[in-house]
Amino acid sequence: MLLREAILKDLEFLLYDVFATEELCGREKFREHSKEGFNEFLDSAFKVSEKYFLPYRSASDEHEPTFSAGRVIVRPEIKTALAALADLGMFAATQDTEDGGLQLPWCVGQAAMALFHSSNVATTTFAFLTMAGSNVILAHGTEEQRRLYAQPMLSGRFLGTMDLTEPQAGSSLGDIRTSAVPAADGTFRLKGTKMYISAGDHEISENIVHLVLARLPDAPPGPKGISLFIVPKYLVNADGTLGEHNDVAVSGIIHKMGWRGIPSTIVNYGDSNCCIGYLLGPPHEGLACMFHMMNEARQIIGLAASMLGYAAYLESLEYARNRPQGRKPGNRDLKSPQVNIVEHPDVKRMLLMQKAYVEGGLALCLYGARLADDVGTAGSEAERHDAKLLLSLLTPVIKAWPAEYCLQANYLAIQVYGGYGYSREYPVEQLYRDNRLNPIHEGTNGIQSLDLLGRKVPAGDGRAFGLLIAAIRSTLVETTKGPYRTVEAMANMLSLLVERITERTSELRGALHTEARATVLSHASIYMEVIGHVVVGWLWLRQAAVAAQRIGNTVGEEKEFYLGKLHTARYFITYELPLAAAKLDVLSNLDPMFTDMEEAWL
Amino acid sequence: MLLREAILKDLEFLLYDVFATEELCGREKFREHSKEGFNEFLDSAFKVSEKYFLPYRSASDEHEPTFSAGRVIVRPEIKTALAALADLGMFAATQDTEDGGLQLPWCVGQAAMALFHSSNVATTTFAFLTMAGSNVILAHGTEEQRRLYAQPMLSGRFLGTMDLTEPQAGSSLGDIRTSAVPAADGTFRLKGTKMYISAGDHEISENIVHLVLARLPDAPPGPKGISLFIVPKYLVNADGTLGEHNDVAVSGIIHKMGWRGIPSTIVNYGDSNCCIGYLLGPPHEGLACMFHMMNEARQIIGLAASMLGYAAYLESLEYARNRPQGRKPGNRDLKSPQVNIVEHPDVKRMLLMQKAYVEGGLALCLYGARLADDVGTAGSEAERHDAKLLLSLLTPVIKAWPAEYCLQANYLAIQVYGGYGYSREYPVEQLYRDNRLNPIHEGTNGIQSLDLLGRKVPAGDGRAFGLLIAAIRSTLVETTKGPYRTVEAMANMLSLLVERITERTSELRGALHTEARATVLSHASIYMEVIGHVVVGWLWLRQAAVAAQRIGNTVGEEKEFYLGKLHTARYFITYELPLAAAKLDVLSNLDPMFTDMEEAWL
C-alpha cells in the first residue's frame, strides 16, 4: 500500500464502519448514490490530490506569492490543480444536481476535502473559501446573485474570499469600520480596509468574489449593525460577462509562518470612491449570514489541522521504518547492524500519540460532517433539530481540538525525525508551520472556548450538552455489555469521566448566572481541552468497538488495521483521559487565579 | 523600565535573593568579587546585547547564511557583535585570571549569557560553542594545545565548533565512522563527514577550531573506541601564527526551521587525504572528554530555550498592554473604547502560563549553574561531590524541560498576538521557530529522558536522586513552618507530590532490574515531564518564599514584582502540578503500551 493510501483506508473505515454513511443512501436526497459510488469519488479525489496537489507543496512554501506594482503573483501549478478539482466536480460536490452539483452527502464531500488538505492545504484553501462562499450566496442571495456569482464559483471559474478582519477589529468583529453607502441604483459604495484576506488577489481565476462585512450609514453600533456585501474584483454584467475592474485593490501581503502557498492580503475598497458592492441578505444581518460561512470554515479548519497532522504522522512513520539508528537494549554486539528507529519504544510512543491525535481529530471532523447531513436530511424534524443543536455545540470543539492536538502531533513528527525534522529539506517542518496557524485563524482557540462554555453549553438550558452526553452514554451502554473485555474496560474508564464532567458542567452552568461568571469563563480554555478529550475519547471507543466486532475473521493487513485501532483507543483512553480528568479537577475549583491577576504583576 | 530590563531584574532576584550568589564571594576563588561587581558585569552585558545583538536578530533570520563555491557567508553584524562580546570579556569571563579571564562564578557567567540568548540566540551560539570548546581544551589539552587553541578562543580571535554527528550516526554516536590515522610526526590524518556542524565555516574569525570525534585504526567498536581531535581550519604554527588551510571543507549547509543566523553545515575532512588533526586527551576516551562539552552544551540549550521563551513572553506582554480589542464582559456600551487585551482573563491566563514556564526555566538553569560553582568551589570535598552528583542528575532535566515548556510558552506568545503572531512582520514567530530546535539538538528530549531514568536516577543506588529529594524537603520544612499561609499551602501541595514521586521512583528503580526494564524505560519521557515539573515547582516555591519574606516593607514596582512571583508560583503549583501528578499515576501503572505495540499496527 502506498504511504498516503492509509488515509483513504481510514476515511472508509470512519465513514462506513463507524458512522454508517451508507445509510444515507436510504434518504430521498441521496437515493441515487451508493457506497461504491462514494468510494469511486474518494478514489478519484485521491488520485487528483496525489497528481496535482502534493507534488508542489514544498515549492509553494519555499517560493511564496509575491506582491509588486499592485499585483499578487501565485504559482501556476495552483491554477492547474484547481482546474483538476473543478473537473472532479469538487466545487459543487455536495450541491443539488439541479444546481449542477453531484448531490453527495456533506460527510463524503468533507472526506474528499480531507485528502486535499493532507496533500496541499494552501491550494485547498482557495477551493474551500470558494465553496463556503458559494454556500452563503446560495443560502442568502437573490436569484440573480446565485446565477451571477454562486454558479461560476461552483464550477471553479470564479474564486471566493471572506473579508472580515480589519486592522483594529479581529476577534472583536463588532468594531469593524468598513462602510457601505447606498447608491441610487440599489448598489452600494464600499470604503475601508480588510486584512488577512486569503486569496485576496491573484490571476488564476476569471474573477474573485469577495464577501465583505461592512456598515450601512444607519447601522447601530456593534455586531448588530453589520451587513454583508458581494464585492467582485471585476463587475459582472447581467448576462454573466465581465465588466470593468472594480475599485478593489490589494495594498500588501502578510508574510506568514506557514500556509504560504496562498497569499494573505490587505485589501482596500474604494480608494477611488467607486467600489461597487451588492447587499447579500438583509441589512444589519450580515454577521448572521456570515456565520453560515464561518461555522463551515471553523469545521474545515479542524479538518485541515487534522490532515496536516495526519500527513506528518505518515511521513514520520515512513521515516521511522527506514532510518537505522541504535540497537535494541541488551544487544551488546556493537558491530551488529543498527535497527530501524520504529523499534525503539520511545519512538513507538511518539508514533502512537500522533496516531491517536490525528485519527481522533479526523474522526471528530467526520462526525461533525455526518451531523451536518442529519441537519439537512434526517427523517424527522426533531432529529434534524437535535443534530443542529449538537453540531452547533461541537463546532468550536471541532475547530479548536484538532488545531491544538494535531499541531502537537506535528511536533512529535519532528521529534521522530530528529535533526532532519527541523530541516527544510524534509517535509515535516513545513507541516508544523502550516498547522501553527490553525489555533488562530477563523477565531482563536480562546474565542472558540468562550463560545463553547459561555454560549453553546448553557444554550437551551443545556439541551445540546445533554444530547452529547446522551449520545456518549448510548455508546457506553452498548460497549459495556458487549463481549469484548478490552473495550468494556475502556468504556468503564470513559464512563467515570463522563459522569464527572456531566456533574461539573451542570455546576459551571449554574455558576455562569452568579458573580462567579467571570471566573468560570476564565477557565473556558481548560474546559475546552477536557470536552475535546472526552468527545475524542468517545469516538476512539466507537472505533475500538467496531474494530473488536470485525477483527474475528480477519487476517493480515486487515487484522493489523483493527489491532492498531484497538491499541490506539486503549492508549488514548488509558493515557490521555486521566490528564483530562486532572484538568477537570483543577478547573472545578474555580480559583479566581486568572481574573484576580493584576497586569502589574506580569 | 525598558521592556527587556525585566530579565535583568529577574536575574538579580534569582542570583542573590534565591540562590545566595553573593556568598560565593566568601570563597577563595571569588574573593576579589562583590555583588556590585557582578551587577556591573551584568549591566554591561545587557548593554552589549541590546546594542549589538538584538537589532539584527530578525534580519539574520530572514537573510540566512549562504553557501556557494565552497564558501559560507554570514552577516557582517555577527563579527561586530562577537567583537563587542570579546571586549566585554565574555569569552573568558569564568576562566581564571591567570588564563586571562575574569574569574567570575559560573552562575554569573551564565546569567550574562542568558541576556545574549534572549537577544540573539544564533550569534550567541558562535560564542557558546567557542567557550565550551575552550573549556574542553583547557581540561584535557597539553600545554601547547592550551596555548595555541584555547587562548585565542578565550579572546574571541578563534571560534570553535563541536563535530559529533554523522549522516548515519546521530543519537547513536558509537556508530561514527570518521577515521584518524597516526602520521609519523605524531599528528593524525582525518577522513570523514560530519553534519549539523554549527558555524562549521565562515570568515568572521581568524581561525576555526573544530573538535572532532573520530576512530583510531585500532579502536574497539562502539562508544569506547572514539577519540577526540583538534582540527583547525588553518594550521597553527608553534609560535601561534597561522599556516596553510587544512584539508577541511564545507560541502553544504542545512536549511533550518529556526536558529537561522548561524550556518548548520556538512563538513568533510580529508577530501585530499591531508586533513591534519591533533589528539586531544587520551586515545579512545574522546567521548568522555567530549561529554565535558556536551554536558555544558546541554545546560546552555536549556538556558537558550528559557530565554527564547522569555523574550517572546515579554514581547507578547508588551503587545497585550497596547492592543485594544473587545470590551469587558457586561459592558453593553458598544461605542465605548475597546480595552487592551491584557485585561481579558484568557489573555492573562496565557501570559501567566508563559511567566510560569520561562521564569521557571530560567530558575532551573541558574540553579544548575549555581551547582556548577559548588562543584568547583564548595568548602568540602563531600559538598563538591554531592553537587556534582546532583548536577549530573539534573543536566538532562535542565536541557529537556525548558526545551519543551518554554517552546510551549512561545506557542502562547503567538496566541496572545492572534494573527499578528504568525506573521513574520512581528517577532514572536521567529522565536517560536528558533525554540523548536531545542527539543532535538544536543541530544533529543527522548535521549535526555533515557539518560535521566535509565542512568542518572539509578546511579549510585539512587544517591543523586536522594540528594534532590533532600534538598526539596529542606525547602518544605522551612516553608511549611513559615509565617506565610499562602506559601505554606503551596508547600503542602508540593509535599504530597514529592512523597509520591519518591515512592514511585524507588519502585521504578527496582523494576529496572526486572524483566519490566523495557517497560519502565518506555515511560522515560513521561517521567521526565513529572520530574521537571516537581523540580520547577520546588524552585517556584523557593521564589515564593523569598517574595513573601521581602514583600513586607515594599511599595510600588518592587511590591508588584513580589506579588507577581507569589501569584505565578501559586499558578504553577495549583494548576500545573496536578497534571504532573496525573502523569505520575499513569506511568506508575507500567502498562506495556509502548513496548507491546507492533510496527504493523501503525
Q: Is B245 helix (H, G, I), strand (E, B) or coil?
A: strand
Q: Inspect the interface and report whether the beta carbons of B445 and A415 lie closer than 8 Å.
A: yes
For the range B168-173, what are the long-range contacts, defined as Cβ-Cβ under 8 Å and sequence gap of 24 or more?
Answer: B168/A324, B168/A338, B169/A325, B170/A325, B170/A418, B170/A419, B170/B196, B171/A325, B171/A326, B171/A418, B171/B443, B171/B444, B171/B447, B172/A325, B172/A326, B172/A327, B172/A338, B173/B213, B173/B223, B173/B226, B173/B287
User: What average pLDDT does chain B have?
Assistant: 96
Cβ contact A257–B432 (<8 Å): yes
DSSP class per residue in A426-439:
STHHHHHHHHTTTT
Distance from CA of A402 to the nearest CA of B (A): 15
| Interface mutation target, options B255, B594, B595, chain A, most CBs of A under 10 Å | B594
The three-class DSSP label of residue B4 is: coil
Which chain A residues have a beta carbon less than 8 Å from that of B415? 439-440, 444-446
Nearest-CA distance from A510 to chain B in Å?
18
H or E element that contains A279: strand A275-279
The Cα B246–Cα B243 span in angstroms is 9
Structural contact between residues B406 and B361, judged by C-beta atoms closer than 8 angstroms: yes
Place of cell 498516503: A4
β-partners of residue A254 are A264
**Probe site for chain A from B310, B555, B602 (most A CB atoms < 10 A):** B602
Segments of chain B scoring below 50 in pLDDT? none
Please report which residue ranges of A344-481 form alpha helices under DSSP H: 345-377, 381-417, 428-435, 445-450, 459-480
Q: For residue A345, give the nearest of B222, B423, B594 by CB distance.
A: B594
Cβ–Cβ < 8 Å for A65, A253: yes
Interstrand relation of B248-254 and B158-163 (parallel, antiparallel or unpaired): unpaired
* DSSP H or E run through A214: strand A207-214
Question: CA nearest B29: which of B364, B443, B372, B445?
Answer: B372
Q: According to the model, what pLDDT value does residue B1 have? A: 58
A168 to B324: CB separation less than 8 angstroms, yes or no: yes
Residue A185: all three cell numbers together: 441604483
Residues 6+ apart with CB under 8 A from B556: none
What is the pLDDT at residue B453? 98
Q: Can you give A136-203 as a three-state secondary structure string? A: HHHHHCCHHHHHHHHHHHHCCCEEEEEECCECCECCCHHHCCCEEEECCCCCEEEEEEEEEEECCCCC
Q: How far is CA A193 from CA A323, A404, B192, in A?
A: 50, 30, 58
The pLDDT of residue A1 is: 58
Q: Look at residues B167, B149, B259 and name the one whose alpha carbon lies nearest to residue B205.
A: B149
Output A95-101 pairs: Cβ under 8 A, ≥24 positions apart: A95/A134, A95/A138, A95/A154, A99/A138, A99/A150, A99/A151, A99/A154, A100/A151, A100/A154, A100/A155, A101/A154
Q: How far, in whole angstroms, is CA B176 from its chain's centroid? A: 25
At B228, give phi and psi (nearest 5°): -115, 135
Q: What is the ipTM of this complex?
A: 0.97
In chain A, residues with a C-beta closer than 8 Å to the C-beta of B571 are 593
Q: What is the pLDDT of residue A292?
A: 86
**Model pTM score:** 0.98
Parallel/antiparallel/unpaired status of strands A188-198 and A275-279: antiparallel
Name the residue ranges covered by the structural domains of chain A: 444-597
Q: Which residues of B touch A418 (CB under 8 A)?
A: 170-171, 440, 444
Q: Which residues of B are catalytic?
A: 442
| Chain B residues near residue A453 by CB distance under 8 angstroms | none
Q: What percent of chain B has pLDDT over 90?
A: 95
Q: Residue ranges of chain A with pLDDT lower than 70?
A: 1
Q: How far is B200 from B233, CA to CA, in rounded Å?
A: 9
Residues of chain B with Cβ-Cβ distance to A175 below 8 Å are 325, 338
Q: How far is CA B185 from the centre of its chain?
A: 39
Q: What is the pLDDT of residue B71?
A: 93
The SS3 of residue A44 is: helix
Residue B253's H or E segment, with its range, is strand B248-254
Strands (E), A491-557: none
Distance CA A599, CA A531 (A): 30
Beta partners for residue A245, in sequence order:
A234
Min CA distance, A424 vs chain B (Å)? Answer: 5
Nearest-CA distance A153 → chain B (Å): 27
Mutation target for A interface from B62, B195, B257, B336: give the one with most A CBs within 10 A.
B257
Q: Which chain B residues are closer than 8 Å to A597 by Cβ?
A: 348, 352, 567
Among candidate residues A442, A507, A557, A576, the one labeled active-site is: A442
Residues 6+ apart with CB under 8 A from B2: none
Answer whether A334 sits within 8 Å of B174, measured CB to CB. yes
Give how far B558 is from chain A: nearest CA, Å. Answer: 10
Name the DSSP class of A31. Answer: T
* Nearest Cβ partner for A346 among B258, B522, B593: B522
Residues of A in contact with B593 (CB under 8 A): 349, 352, 567, 570-571, 574-575
Closest partner residue to A582 (CB to CB) among B171, B335, B579 is B579
Helix (H) or strand (E) run with residue B532 in it: helix B524-550
Yes or no: say if A156 and A91 are a contact pair by the CB < 8 Å rule.
yes
